[in-house]
């Protein structure tokens, strides 16, 4: 694993006395990365951090010469939060916090705002892969959530689960929902190449994307031979023209076969 950046130490939080400093980090980070967040939702979340969210998680603080510059919050094997002060971004602190959460707290899962493209790319580079998507966040707000899991956690390792390989089929069904004619035309233009490349993947057994009676809605049906094959597909697509150009188009998917 990468080393912690020089002069930065990782430690447990100091309790409620440190919460105001952590709120300030959250505020700086979110203002820099969450331009999609409505003003009222920003204020609501900020007001609940110290009173509700922080007490629910185990906090890991990145400390630079006695000053908190970032933190992560863990509950069970879920990474519930990871924020770096905007002035300290790009120094490897986020990677160090994530590595500590994985090594010391057994983190294997994280949920990411779909609109936060930087965070999505970060977790992909750190070995996480998308396993699902929700159109609304945990509070029912219209912020789509990408559910991600560490690719080398036990479900993706041959020989896990009592020595039996995890080779169950993964099935994704749902819809791609365009908001405008322009979005639908973009899908139509990029789709042939996307279908051709996906069907050529060795783990893909079926891949169909068809326009419904509603010209703005496309039906999606995918089948992959295993979780690993599905994750490899997701990883490829994330960096493809299809993945980058259609990322803001709404998706409502159900994935079966994964745990």
Q: Where are the domains of the chain?
A: 8-150, 159-256
| Percent of the chain whose pLDDT exceeds 70 | 90
Report pLDDT for 5.
67
State how far the Cα of 132 lies from the Cα of 3, in Å rounded to an integer: 31
> How large is the average pLDDT for residues 221-225?
90
Report pLDDT for 132.
77
Tell me if 8-150 shares its fold with 159-256.
no
> How large is the average pLDDT for residues 211-225?
93
pTM: 0.62
Report pLDDT for 54.
98
Report pLDDT for 134.
84
More confident residue, 144 or 165: 144
Range name among 53-62, 102-111, 147-156, 158-167 with the lowest pLDDT average? 158-167
Q: Phi and psi dihedrals of 35, rounded to 5?
A: -70, -10
Residue 183 has pLDDT above 90, yes or no: yes
167 band by pLDDT with thresholds 50, 70 and 90: low
Residue 3 has pLDDT above 70, yes or no: no
Report pLDDT for 80.
97
Q: What is the four-CA torsion angle of 205, 185, 122, 13, rounded to 10 degrees?
A: -110
94 band by pLDDT with thresholds 50, 70 and 90: very high
For the domain bounded by 8-150, which CATH number is listed? 3.40.630.30
Q: What is the four-CA torsion angle of 195, 198, 202, 208, rounded to 10 degrees?
A: -50
Q: Phi and psi dihedrals of 239, rounded to 5?
A: -100, 0
Mean pLDDT score of the chain, rounded to an integer?
A: 88
State how far the Cα of 28 lies from the Cα of 33, in Å rounded to an integer: 9
Range name among 10-24, 151-165, 229-243 with the lowest pLDDT average? 151-165
Q: Are 63 and 11 in contact (CB under 8 A)?
A: yes
- How are strands ordered across the β-sheet holding 170-177? 204-211, 217-224, 170-177, 250-256
Residue 178 has pLDDT above 50, yes or no: yes
Two tokens, residue 206: 């079926």
pLDDT digits (tens, 9 = 90+) for 105-157: 999 999 999 889 889 889 988 888 877 788 888 888 989 898 888 876 544 43
165 band by pLDDT with thresholds 50, 70 and 90: very low
For the domain bounded by 159-256, which CATH number is listed? 3.30.70.100
């Amino acid at each position: 694993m990468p080393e912690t950046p020089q002069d930065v130490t990782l430690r447990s939080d100091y309790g409620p006395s440190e919460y105001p400093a952590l709120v300030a980090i959250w505020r700086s980070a979110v203002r820099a990365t969450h331009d999609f967040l409505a003003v009222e939702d920003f204020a609501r979340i900020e007001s609940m951090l110290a009173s509700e969210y922080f007490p629910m998680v185990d906090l890991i603080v990145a400390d630079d010469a006695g000053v908190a510059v970032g933190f992560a919050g863990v509950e069970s094997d879920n990474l519930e939060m990871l924020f770096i002060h905007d002035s300290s971004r790009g120094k490897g602190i986020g990677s160090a916090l994530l590595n500590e959460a994985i090594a010391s707290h057994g983190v294997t899962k994280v949920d990411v705002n779909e609109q936060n493209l930087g965070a999505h790319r970060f977790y992909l580079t750190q070995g996480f892969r998308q396993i699902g998507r929700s159109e609304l966040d945990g509070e029912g707000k219209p912020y789509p959530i990408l559910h991600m899991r560490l690719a080398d956690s036990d479900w993706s390792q041959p020989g896990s689960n009592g020595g039996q390989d995890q080779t169950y089929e993964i099935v994704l069904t749902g819809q791609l929902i365009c908001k405008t004619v322009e979005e639908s035309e973009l899908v139509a233009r990029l789709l042939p190449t996307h279908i051709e490349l996906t069907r050529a993947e060795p783990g893909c057994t079926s891949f169909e994307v068809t326009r419904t009676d509603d010209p703005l809605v496309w039906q999606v049906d995918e089948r992959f031979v295993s979780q690993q094959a599905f994750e490899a597909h997701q990883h490829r697509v994330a960096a493809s023209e299809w993945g980058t150009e259609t990322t803001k188009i709404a998706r409502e998917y159900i994935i079966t076969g994964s745990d």
